[in-house]
Amino acid sequence: MTTPTRSLKIVAVVAIVATGLSHLGTASGAFGEATCKGLLFVANGVGAIVAAVGVYRDRADWGWLLGALVASGAFLGYVLSRTLAAGAAFLIEHAII
């Protein structure tokens, strides 16, 4: 595996920390909506911080992988919350289910 440049590492660490902190900052509101959603926000925040430490310390074996998993999980959660939740709301509103 090629070693990432210092610039790429800095961008990656800043991006994953920003994402993690934003999820940790909004976790209390997410707990108000659903406990599961709040737990996912906290898990994302903690995972992002751990991944950032791994990337910063050149732990290519787990730092980048964890960062990719955290980012992918957040993206997937966002897409599912906008598609499945909207579809369920439509069905409930029109008394289909």
Closest Cα to residue 53, out of 69, 43, 66?
Answer: 66
**61 phi, psi to nearest 5 deg:** -65, -35
Instruction: Please tell me what DSSP assigns to residue 2.
Output: P
The answer to whether residue 46 sits within a structural domain is: yes
Q: Exposure string (b/e) for 51-73, b if CB count within 10 Å is 16 or more? A: bbebbeeeeeeebbebbeebbee
The answer to whether residue 75 sits within a structural domain is: yes
pLDDT category, 6, cuts 50, 70, 90?
A: confident
Q: Which domain holds residue 72?
A: 6-93
Model-wide pTM > 0.85: no
Residue with tokens 């440049």: 5
The answer to whether residue 37 sits within a structural domain is: yes
The answer to whether residue 1 sits within a structural domain is: no
The answer to whether residue 47 sits within a structural domain is: yes
pLDDT category, 93, cuts 50, 70, 90?
A: low
